[in-house]
Amino acid sequence: MKIAVLDWYTVNISGDIPVSQLEELGEVRVIPLTKPEETAANIGDADIVLCNKVLITREVMDACPNIKYIGLFATGYNNVDTAYAAEKGITVCNAGQYSTNAVAQQTFAYILDRFSRIRDYDAAVKDGQWERSPAFSYFPIPTSELAGRTLSIVGYGSIGRKVAEIGHAFGMNIVVSTRTAPADCPYEVTDLFTAAEKADVLTFHCPLTEQTKGIVNSELLSRMKSSAMLINTARGGIVSEPDLAAALNSGTIAAAYLDVLDKEPMSPDTPLKTAKNCTITPHTAWAPFETRQRLVDIVCSNIRAWQNGSPVNKVN
């Protein structure tokens, strides 16, 4: 079978994952990145299409009649017209739960950065401030313990659960806001506004849907403590960037840590670029080597299952 990989660069930017695993499954053509107008041509006569963010539309599927299977290097699949794929008998499979540990880890990297102020103290030391200190210990920048603080988690899938588990280990009070109340949740479950009001840390681990689009807005932010921090490692679209920038610049909340933005790569026009106490990483929470290798393993396993007539992780 012929396999077209449309945006391998998004999975393997540093070249540390070989394509040999994919080559065991068929004749592979690897394209680093695909522009929208190149999609159909880059797929060509391939039977299997693998992609991360490339749009696979009705028009693309009609232009490429050989497509039998679309595999995603991602959990989300909103870039594929899954309904039309089903009409055409094309199987679409995603890769779920590959990034749970990595995203939870980065969430706590943000939290510890804010509460322990490691970067700030490193900068102070290198500026010579400790050398000039009259005392052996120099701590003009306030730090805080996590124990006893409230960690409010929006979304209680695999990542939300892992974040709750780690927060509990730190002695934090866990509050969960989720669309449907989980039967096995040992923590307080409440509505979004109550979770925001209680939060010392408000972190988002929910999908982007019509219901969650723009839920981080001026109304929600106004209910948070002025000392609270907000984290978004979910999808950029859940945040109103102008509203969050205004909240940071006015001191409505203390800080924001973001790994995702509404437009990626980041637009130079986003007001968050210059907002006060706003730390932005370039969508890296999912990017550890082990995480990406696990992702490729899942994608390959999905293809094998489909080839054997028993598809798994099917979304259409």
The average pLDDT across 95-114 equals 97
The tokens describing 69, both together, are 């299977």
Tell me: the pLDDT tens digits for 25-34?
999 999 999 9
Distance CA 267, CA 245 (A): 14
> What is residue 306's predicted lDDT score, i.e. its pLDDT?
98
pLDDT at 180 over 90: no
Q: How far apart are CA 5 and CA 62, in angstroms?
A: 18
183 pLDDT band, cuts 50/70/90, is: confident
Mean pLDDT of the chain: 97
| pLDDT value for 102 | 98
Phi, psi of 177 (to 5 degrees): -125, 120
User: pTM value?
Assistant: 0.93
Any idea which residues carry the catalytic annotation? 235, 264, 283
pLDDT number for residue 181? 84
Tokens read off for 161: 């659960």
Answer whether residue 197 shows pLDDT above 90: yes
**CB count in 10 Å sphere of residue 117:** 17
pLDDT band, very low/low/confident/very high, at 115 (cuts 50, 70, 90): very high
Please, which pLDDT band fits residue 76 given cuts at 50, 70 and 90?
A: confident
The pLDDT assigned to 211 comes to 94
H-assigned helices in the chain: 20-23, 39-43, 58-63, 82-87, 100-116, 118-126, 158-169, 192-198, 218-222, 241-250, 289-307
Question: Average pLDDT in the 76-92 region?
Answer: 96
Tell me the mean pLDDT in the region 164-174. Answer: 98
Task: For each of the domains in the chain, give its residue range(s) and CATH number, in order of start.
Answer: 2-98+289-307 (3.40.50.720), 100-280 (3.40.50.720)
Task: Enter the DSSP assignment of 131.
Answer: T
Angle of the 158-169 helix axis to the 100-116 helix axis, nearest 10: 40
Instruction: Give the pLDDT confidence score for residue 95 in this predicted structure.
Output: 96
The per-residue pLDDT for 80 is 97
**pLDDT (0 to 100) of residue 186:** 96
pLDDT, residue 184, reads 86
pLDDT at position 96: 87
What's the pLDDT tens digit per position in 222-271?
Answer: 999 999 999 999 999 999 999 999 999 999 999 999 999 999 999 999 99
